[in-house]
């Protein structure tokens, strides 16, 4: 097998950002089998659950330290009316989920269930409220219902529904994709709507909201420019950009059956995120040089054609080593942009798009993408430090190696992807400013089409990787198609 040599440099004294744990966030929408038959099976299910939430999913999320979960959409958010989803389940109104398969939504999973799930996982809730078809009053009352400890019709309703004390809610999204499914608005119109809606979302009883505006679709720089020109840190805390890895908009391609060319095109599309974040950051820097407004990537991940025989509106796709490489690349990109990027949410958590978990009846599996989040979890809440490698592949816009590094509690963590399908890579990495005494490494590697299914749930799994250390140098070899993490202790 051909072997390439790569020299890397990490400078642990050169802090480039702080990796907010929320960069490792996820997204759960009322779409297909993400909530129902996914996270939520109901209290009467034979599948082990706590108040209807699957315990195996709770455990899996806790293991990768899911820091934040976005809900209820997505496009669903702008047709969601929260009062339909509270109170006795038998009285809850049904609606048609017009965006996703036209199925009937029975609203048995609502505000209480979502916030309970977050509590069980130990993550922060990110509630995305309805601008497109909702009202200012409805959004304002939802915030009051969740966060106020005063006496009012909304808080009395919450208490009557079994929750005496308010919850803490930090992340509040004001509309989703309002340039598209959330009302097809022009940026000027959305800015006005945003200003009005957010005015009535109050900080009750000591709760402090972090208000998030709907950001641009991919490279819609005009949307970002209009938002930044008209909003400031007094009324917005974060801007939520959406970017999907789609290598061909006409034909999204199959998740598990793909050519080498499709693989590298997918990686080219994933790598564009780096340019996109640089350009949006440049716009934000002009208006907000003090970095008071965070950039959020509230939806990201690979989007393919649905698996044969499944509902096209349910967006169910398998997940291979290709997805793991994309996840490793994108998470490295977020870490390197962590001066401005404060949160990212993979789309979506369970059974939808680039999910970390797939379920079938009582069976559950962790996808290759899940394992990448496991490999990278040490980065959460660490300081991102300078990490240099410059090794492009022979394919246009596709780096053969990507990496990022961070320091926390006297530990240096470096994560690396090798996207080559033919070459292994010998890495010699200098760790300037950090003298290590011991190092250990873990790796995810397999043939690029490999995936986990319900009969072979551990086909793609993490294993240990040899790494040697000598003062401030480490040496390791990554096989083709691999994602690795190295932890060095001083
Ligand atoms: O994640 C699927 C959909 O993609 C979301 O509902 C929407 O926000 C985006 O277009």
What does pLDDT average to over the chain? 97
- CA 367 to centroid of chain Cα atoms: 15
Q: Which token pair is 485?
A: 């993490």
Both ends of the chain: CA-CA distance in Å? 34
Q: Which token pair is 147?
A: 């966060």
Residue 393: predicted pLDDT: 79
Q: Which token pair is 368?
A: 């290759």
Angle between helices 136-147 and 153-160 (to 10 degrees): 50
Q: For residue 141, what are the CA distances in angstroms to 119, 138, 200, 453?
A: 22, 5, 9, 43
All residues at 6 or more sequence positions from 368 whose CB lies less than 8 Å from its CB, including other chains = 319, 320, 321, 323, 324, 327, 444, 446, 450, 451, 452, 460
161 burial type by CB count under 10 A (0-12 exposed, 13-18 middle, 19+ buried): middle
What would the mean pLDDT of 64-87 be, rounded to a whole number? 98
Ligand 1 midpoint to CA 280 (Å) = 20
Residue 312 has pLDDT above 80, yes or no: yes
What would the mean pLDDT of 258-262 be, rounded to a whole number? 95
Looking from the CA of residue 77, the nearest atom of ligand 1 is: 6
Residue 230 has pLDDT above 90, yes or no: yes
Question: Residue 466, SS3?
Answer: coil
Cross-strand bridge partners of residue 468: 475
Ligand 1 probe mutation, 242, 246, 297, most atoms within 8 A of CB:
242
Residue 396: predicted pLDDT: 80
Query: For residues 216 and 225, is the Cβ–Cβ distance under 8 A?
Result: no
- The phi and psi torsions of 383 (rounded to 5 degrees) equal -85, 125
Q: For residue 391, what are the CA distances in angstroms to 8, 298, 420, 427, 429?
A: 10, 29, 11, 11, 14
Looking from the CA of residue 299, the nearest atom of ligand 1 is: 1
* Per-residue confidence band for 389, with pLDDT thresholds at 50, 70 and 90: confident
Query: For residues 129 and 173, is the Cβ–Cβ distance under 8 A?
Result: yes
The candidate with the shortest Cα–Cα distance to 271, out of 397, 155, 183, 187, is 397
What would the mean pLDDT of 57-84 be, rounded to a whole number? 98
Residue 81: predicted pLDDT: 98
Residue 395: predicted pLDDT: 83
Q: Closest residue (by CA) to atom 7 of ligand 1?
A: 74
d(CA 118, CA 354): 20
* Per-residue confidence band for 447, with pLDDT thresholds at 50, 70 and 90: very high
Element (H, E) at 116: helix 111-121
Query: For residues 267 and 325, is the Cβ–Cβ distance under 8 A?
Result: yes
* Per-residue confidence band for 438, with pLDDT thresholds at 50, 70 and 90: very high
Residue 167: predicted pLDDT: 98
Ligand 1 midpoint to CA 206 (Å) = 32
Q: Closest residue (by CA) to atom 5 of ligand 1?
A: 74
Query: For residues 205 and 144, is the Cβ–Cβ distance under 8 A?
Result: no
Residue 249: predicted pLDDT: 76
Residue 4: predicted pLDDT: 92
Ligand 1 midpoint to CA 11 (Å) = 38
Residue 397: predicted pLDDT: 87
Q: Which token pair is 24?
A: 């490792």
Q: Closest residue (by CA) to atom 9 of ligand 1?
A: 74
Residue 130 has pLDDT above 80, yes or no: yes
Ligand 1 probe mutation, 73, 179, 184, most atoms within 8 A of CB:
73
Ligand 1 midpoint to CA 355 (Å) = 13
String of DSSP letters for 177-192? -TTTTTT---HHHHHH
Q: Closest residue (by CA) to atom 3 of ligand 1?
A: 74
Looking from the CA of residue 347, the nearest atom of ligand 1 is: 1
Q: Closest residue (by CA) to atom 6 of ligand 1?
A: 74
The candidate with the shortest Cα–Cα distance to 81, out of 125, 160, 135, is 135
Cross-strand bridge partners of residue 385: 15, 405
Residue 392: predicted pLDDT: 81
d(CA 464, CA 468): 13
Tens digit of pLDDT for each residue in 348-365? 999 999 999 999 999 999
| Ligand 1 binding residues, C-beta < 6 A | 29, 73-75, 176-177, 299, 347-348, 353
Ligand 1 midpoint to CA 75 (Å) = 6
311 burial type by CB count under 10 A (0-12 exposed, 13-18 middle, 19+ buried): middle
- CA 353 to centroid of chain Cα atoms: 12
Q: Choose the weakest-confidence range: 157-161, 375-379, 393-397.
A: 393-397
Residue 415: predicted pLDDT: 98
All residues at 6 or more sequence positions from 124 whose CB lies less than 8 Å from its CB, including other chains = 22, 67, 68, 69, 118, 170, 171
Q: Closest residue (by CA) to atom 4 of ligand 1?
A: 74
Residue 54 has pLDDT above 80, yes or no: yes
Question: Residue 90, SS3?
Answer: helix
Residue 342 has pLDDT above 80, yes or no: yes
Residue 71: predicted pLDDT: 98
String of DSSP letters for 414-449? EEEEE--SS-EEEEEEEEET---SEEEEEEEE--TT
d(CA 190, CA 397): 34
Q: Point out the residues that are catalytic.
A: 177, 299
Ligand 1 midpoint to CA 115 (Å) = 21
452-486 burial: b if 16+ Cβ within 10 Å, else e: beeeeeeebebeebebebeebebebbbbbbbbbbb
Residue 197 has pLDDT above 90, yes or no: yes
Residue 204: predicted pLDDT: 98
Residue 434 has pLDDT above 90, yes or no: yes
Residue 390 has pLDDT above 80, yes or no: no
């Amino acid at each position: 097998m051909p072997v390439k040599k790569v020299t890397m440099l990490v400078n642990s004294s050169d802090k480039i950002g702080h990796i907010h744990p929320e960069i490792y966030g996820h997204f759960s929408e009322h779409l297909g089998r993400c909530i129902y038959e996914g996270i939520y099976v109901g209290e009467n299910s034979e599948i082990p659950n706590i108040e209807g939430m699957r315990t195996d999913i709770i455990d899996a999320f806790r293991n990768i330290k899911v820091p934040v979960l976005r809900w209820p959409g997505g496009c669903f958010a702008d047709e969601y009316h929260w009062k339909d989803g509270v109170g006795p389940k038998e009285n809850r109104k049904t609606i048609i989920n017009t965006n996703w398969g036209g199925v009937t939504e029975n609203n048995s999973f609502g505000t209480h269930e979502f916030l309970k799930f977050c509590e069980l996982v130990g993550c922060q809730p990110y509630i995305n409220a309805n601008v497109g078809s909702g009202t200012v009053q409805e959004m304002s009352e939802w915030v009051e219902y969740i966060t106020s400890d005063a006496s009012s019709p909304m808080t009395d309703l919450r208490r009557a529904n079994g929750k005496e004390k308010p919850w803490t809610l930090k992340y509040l999204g004001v509309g989703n994709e309002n340039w598209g499914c959330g009302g097809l608005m022009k940026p000027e119109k959305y800015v006005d709507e945003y200003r009005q809606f957010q005015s009535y979302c109050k900080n009750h009883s000591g709760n402090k909201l972090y208000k998030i505006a709907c950001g641009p679709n991919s490279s819609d720089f005009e949307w970002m420019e209009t938002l930044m020109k008209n909003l400031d840190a007094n009324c917005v805390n974060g801007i939520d950009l959406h970017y999907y890895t789609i290598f061909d908009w006409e034909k999204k391609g199959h998740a598990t059956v793909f050519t080498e060319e499709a693989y590298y095109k997918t990686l080219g599309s994933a790598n564009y995120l780096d340019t996109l974040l640089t350009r949006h950051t440049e716009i934000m820097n002009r208006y907000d040089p003090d970095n008071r407004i965070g950039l959020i990537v509230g939806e990201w991940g690979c989007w393919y054609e649905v698996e044969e025989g499944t509902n096209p509106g349910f967006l169910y796709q398998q997940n291979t080593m290709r997805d793991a490489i994309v996840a490793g690349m994108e998470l490295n990109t977020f870490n390197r942009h962590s001066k401005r990027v404060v949160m990212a949410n993979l789309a979506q958590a369970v059974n939808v798009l680039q999910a970390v978990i797939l379920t079938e009846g009582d069976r559950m599996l962790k996808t290759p993408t899940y394992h990448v989040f496991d490999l990278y979890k040490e980065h959460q809440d660490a300081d991102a430090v300078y990490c240099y490698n410059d090794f492009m592949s022979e394919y246009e816009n596709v780096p053969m190696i990507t990496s990022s590094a961070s320091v926390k509690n006297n530990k240096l963590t470096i994560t690396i992807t090798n996207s080559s399908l033919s070459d292994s890579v010998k890495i010699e990495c200098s760790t300037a400013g950090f003298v290590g005494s011991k190092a250990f490494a873990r790796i995810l590697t397999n043939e690029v089409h490999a995936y986990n299914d319900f009969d072979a749930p551990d086909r793609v799994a993490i294993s240990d990787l040899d790494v040697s250390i000598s003062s401030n140098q480490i040496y390791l070899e990554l096989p083709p198609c691999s994602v690795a993490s190295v932890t060095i202790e001083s």
